[in-house]
Amino acid sequence: QKEVEQNSGPLSVPEGAIASLNCTYSDRGSQSFFWYRQYSGKSPELIMSIYSNGDKEDGRFTAQLNKASQYVSLLIRDSQPSDSATYLCAVPNSGYALNFGKGTSLLVTP
Amino acid sequence: EAGVTQFPSHSVIEKGQTVTLRCDPISGHDNLYWYRRVMGKEIKFLLHFVKESKQDESGMPNNRFLAERTGGTYSTLKVQPAELEDSGVYFCASSPRTSGRASQETQYFGPGTRLLVL
């Protein structure tokens, strides 16, 4: 069973701080990694994808991938209360199906 | 452009009844997926359509679940008869025709149907 693990949180950070969300995965052959954000009662929304080792930056978001350690993280700089949501790590299996972690709940306090 | 839509948004039924969920993917998307999130668990893959064909139904829990995508547009997921453990949020997602690596396809999710079986 291929697994994706996340700390469920809640992770609480003050406004303006850096939020760090972590994800580990069990399938060493995984090539693609996605971070989805889900507000309560809404659909998961893709915010970052990463395929190569290292960092990928998009605005206030940075995804970090370390395939040797089977570890992917998401950093949110200058966190805003509007960033409060559940963040889902997703890793495709050999085909199209996404394997999700349980998600980390982030709370940004004003 | 309209996103993925799902109907109904909520459904409350009794054990043994039948429920049909509908998903309308983004126009032009050949790939359509169904996922489910049971309370306290992660979102789990159910099945994948390419146009009207089932590409992968390895996640379907049992034969009480039937998915169709006639004409390759919208899809329905029928649960018959429903059991208590079927309660959860059913998500539909879609992605465009594959032009590159399957594992890099972005899947766009709908808001989900919240199913409660009493």
pLDDT tens by residue, chain A, 110 residues: 679 999 888 999 999 999 999 999 998 888 899 999 999 989 999 999 999 999 999 999 999 999 999 999 999 999 999 999 999 999 998 778 999 999 999 999 99
* B91 to A16, B7, B73, B84, B88: CA distances (angstroms): 33, 10, 16, 18, 10
Query: What is the mean predicted confidence (pLDDT) over B5-9?
Result: 97
Radius of gyration in angstroms for the set of CA atoms belonging to chain A, rounded to a whole number: 13
User: Per residue in B92-102, pLDDT tens?
Assistant: 999 987 666 66
- Please tell me the predicted confidence (pLDDT) of residue B44: 96
Instruction: Give me the count of residues in chain A.
Output: 110
Count the neighbouring beta carbons within 10 Å of the beta carbon of residue A44.
30
* A3 to A41, A45, A47, A69, A102: CA distances (angstroms): 25, 21, 21, 14, 10
User: Per residue in B40-83, pLDDT tens?
Assistant: 899 999 999 999 999 999 999 999 999 999 888 999 999 999 99
List the single best residue of A58, A98, A105 to mutate versus B (max B Cβ within 10 A). A98
| CB pair distance less than 8 Å for B106 and A36 | no
* Contact residues on chain B for A97, CB-CB shorter than 8 A: 33, 45, 48, 56, 58-59
Contact status, residue A92 vs residue B103, Cβ threshold 8 Å: yes
Q: How far is B42 from chain A (nearest CA, A)?
A: 4
Least CB–CB distance from B56: residue in A49, A97, A101: A97
Least CB–CB distance from A102: residue in B35, B42, B55: B42
DSSP assignment letter at A8: -
Q: Which residues pair with A13 in a beta bridge?
A: A108
Preceding amide of B8 cis, omega within 30: yes
* B4 to A61, A84, A103, B90, B92: CA distances (angstroms): 25, 23, 22, 13, 7
**Distance in angstroms (rounded) separating the CA atoms of residues B3 and B108:** 8
Least CB–CB distance from A43: residue in B95, B102, B111: B111
Contact status, residue A52 vs residue A60, Cβ threshold 8 Å: no
